[in-house]
Structure 1
């Protein structure tokens, strides 16, 4: 683990963003989630990469400057999955409409104080179960991605385990090198394809005028509503718990995170971006590979902003550098980082029952996990079940 992680350094030192090699390495710890969704939106839903990467870049920089901890900005997974898999029924306007609905919903939830009441009702085993379930789903998804090139994945996995605590060589740097070399060996024609990358400066377009009321309503009903329980579990409850566990000197509240996500999603659709959230898995990825401040988000934001403004016509070529097998390794370690946090759930047998029921359902569906955990918590509390 890099120097400074888990230490008792002075608060004023921790509140400053850093830009050392660990922050650079940690900046790319969430690529396992980011790249597949961005590629899906571009290739399947036909959304302009300029708008997607521009809005991600701006919001990552803002998140890093404001929070000063690695609170990530990720694609919303339920909306992204539905948009990519239901391509015949989903249009870019519906995606932007879903983003606007999501922004209004979470801004209202945060400003009205409704989240405070809900959060007080949720026990620690339920929170840890949501995080554990998310971690397990990341591990399984990472393994599935690694199977695309198992030999490369196993080499990358072994080297990453050996370098996880290295203070000299951040594991992410080695992973990127392995990924690039593997991609070029597997596809020698990639040399010539990459030579087609060209500087092409463009400014984003204001697309709000292209979103109709029909887009907004369809986007909310088809895409947005299904995202709500996932966002509540992963990107409100879990991210708040993770941030406050890892960075107690810089705590956040569910209310603040909800308002922040509302702002993200009211801004993103204006310039052709996609629905975003502060997912706990992204923080785990950033932290696992070295990030300890918001500097990692600023670095990633500047990178994405540069690609958006100067190389948006070559985005798919650039992303070909990162093989799915290596992205799977990144996702696998982000899952491990999340899953191990469940170790402090408590000492009572009932705590473990609630944890495992929540995690089991959450690994399948985050919303279902949240509901199952609350039900189990209340049944045990009211002594309907005795474990």
Structure 2
């Protein structure tokens, strides 16, 4: 069922087309810069139960890793998340779930009818590169913003990452996470004692049917779902497909499959109390930048998140404190650099340059508005 082999001098377990080694383990955490801040916002400001959120993320990360066998991330939808967290006093849980249901139905329909395939075909390469460049720049800006509060700590993280970025013996992500955990304990001496009092308690998500009204569904569709649609199209579907097929030409995916996948995972997530989710070129860049090359990274992270959701959901806010905000900023910053570098293969004629630069300007503007 599995094969143990040596690759470049390191031991690797290969199972169902995925690798499981320390580089996949390190790369698994390359998407935390976007995942944790949004999840924390939903939990602390919107008062959502972390159980449904984490179980949905865990299950679908495992599924995506096993099915696609590439490090395609699963992230919170950023327009919906930004709006819901910024207006937590008026956005209800039902509206968030309603947005997930609308999003799920919409992308499921786009995939099943083949409409998404037609849109992908008329989208030129410079436009796709512009989408990816814009997201990369927005990640860089957001990462710098997260590092700004404690610049000295962040600089230490940047230096560690630069020194070890290409190391397979000492993966940069693992050393960076260790550095962050040490900093967290130094800044909060009582944190270790609080963590030792955590106990396991199994819980299973409850269905949300009875907690949604038609008004919630309609408001979620209009206020949250509609503004998210173009961002999902550009980044989560077209951008992700382009990036995956460029890095992993032996494991290509299609816009139709990714669109249907978006539909199914959002419908299931909404009904188990989760949040709207998507794939993303930026998250994939983060996984790749820190060592992931197969879906094994997603399976590893999915198992960790699923276990946390099922057994430690009452302590999630405390557990996340072991990763200081500046360290998440460093992760996001390097993911942004990796993604922005895709522009290098565009021939710089006037038309291509215009197409590739207008979209980044617009996307950065949207990101600033969300933050």
TM-score (norm 2): 0.94
SS of alignment partner, residue 83 of structure 2: helix
Q: Distance in 2 between matches of 1:147 and 1:93?
A: 35
In the alignment, does 2:40 pair up with 1:44? no
Matches within 5 A, 1:177-188: 177-188=178-189
Which digits, 9 at most, give the CA deviation of each residue in 1:191-234, with x for residues without a partner? 22222321111111111221121111111011110100110110
Q: Distance in 2 between matches of 1:270 and 1:115?
A: 25
| Matched residues, number | 357
In the alignment, does 2:276 pair up with 1:261? no
SS of alignment partner, residue 197 of structure 2: coil
Q: Distance in 2 between matches of 1:316 and 1:219?
A: 26
Aligned to 2:221: 220
Aligned to 1:80: 81
Aligned to 1:382: none
Which digits, 9 at most, give the CA deviation of each residue in 1:286-328, with x for residues without a partner? 1111110001000000000110111111101100000000000
Aligned to 1:385: none
Aligned to 2:99: 98
In the alignment, does 2:65 pair up with 1:64? yes
For residue 145 of structure 1, report the CA deviation from its aligned partner: 0.3
Which digits, 9 at most, give the CA deviation of each residue in 1:261-291, with x for residues without a partner? 0011011011100000011111111111111
Which digits, 9 at most, give the CA deviation of each residue in 1:173-201, with x for residues without a partner? 00111100111111112122222321111
Q: Please tell me whether the aligned partners of residues 142 and 328 of structure 1 are also in contact (alpha carbons under 8 angstroms).
A: yes
Aligned to 1:241: 242
Q: Distance in 2 between matches of 1:109 and 1:203?
A: 32
Aligned to 2:167: 166
Aligned to 1:31: 32
Q: Distance in 1 between matches of 2:289 and 2:198?
A: 31
Which digits, 9 at most, give the CA deviation of each residue in 1:63-119, with x for residues without a partner? 011100011111000000111011121011111111000000000111111112211
Aligned to 1:384: none
Matches within 5 A, 1:288-299: 288-299=289-300
For residue 350 of structure 1, report the CA deviation from its aligned partner: 2.2
Aligned to 2:11: none
SS of alignment partner, residue 18 of structure 1: strand
Alpha-carbon distance change, 15 to 200 in structure 1, aligned in 2, over 3 angstroms = closer
**Which structure carries more strand by proportion?**
2
Aligned to 2:313: 312
Aligned to 2:4: none
Q: Distance in 1 between matches of 2:109 and 2:347?
A: 34
For residue 352 of structure 1, report the CA deviation from its aligned partner: 1.5
Q: Please tell me whether the aligned partners of residues 16 and 66 of structure 2 are also in contact (alpha carbons under 8 angstroms).
A: no
Q: Distance in 1 between matches of 2:203 and 2:123?
A: 47
SS of alignment partner, residue 365 of structure 1: helix
For residue 15 of structure 1, report the CA deviation from its aligned partner: 7.7
Aligned to 1:377: none
Matches within 5 A, 1:356-371: 356-365=357-366
Q: Distance in 2 between matches of 1:128 and 1:180?
A: 36
SS of alignment partner, residue 157 of structure 1: helix
TM-score (norm 1): 0.90
Q: Distance in 2 between matches of 1:43 and 1:265?
A: 22
RMSD: 1.5
Aligned to 1:379: none
Q: Please tell me whether the aligned partners of residues 15 and 250 of structure 1 are also in contact (alpha carbons under 8 angstroms).
A: no
Q: Distance in 2 between matches of 1:61 and 1:302?
A: 7
For residue 14 of structure 1, report the CA deviation from its aligned partner: 11
5+ unaligned residues in a row in structure 1: which ranges?
5-12, 369-387
SS of alignment partner, residue 170 of structure 2: coil
Q: Distance in 1 between matches of 2:245 and 2:78?
A: 23
Alpha-carbon distance change, 135 to 15 in structure 1, aligned in 2, over 3 angstroms = farther
Matches within 5 A, 1:114-129: 114-129=115-130
Q: Distance in 2 between matches of 1:245 and 1:312?
A: 37
SS of alignment partner, residue 320 of structure 1: helix
Q: Distance in 2 between matches of 1:348 and 1:79?
A: 36
5+ unaligned residues in a row in structure 2: which ranges?
1-6, 9-13
Q: Please tell me whether the aligned partners of residues 129 and 362 of structure 1 are also in contact (alpha carbons under 8 angstroms).
A: no
Which digits, 9 at most, give the CA deviation of each residue in 1:42-71, with x for residues without a partner? 011111001100010001001011100011
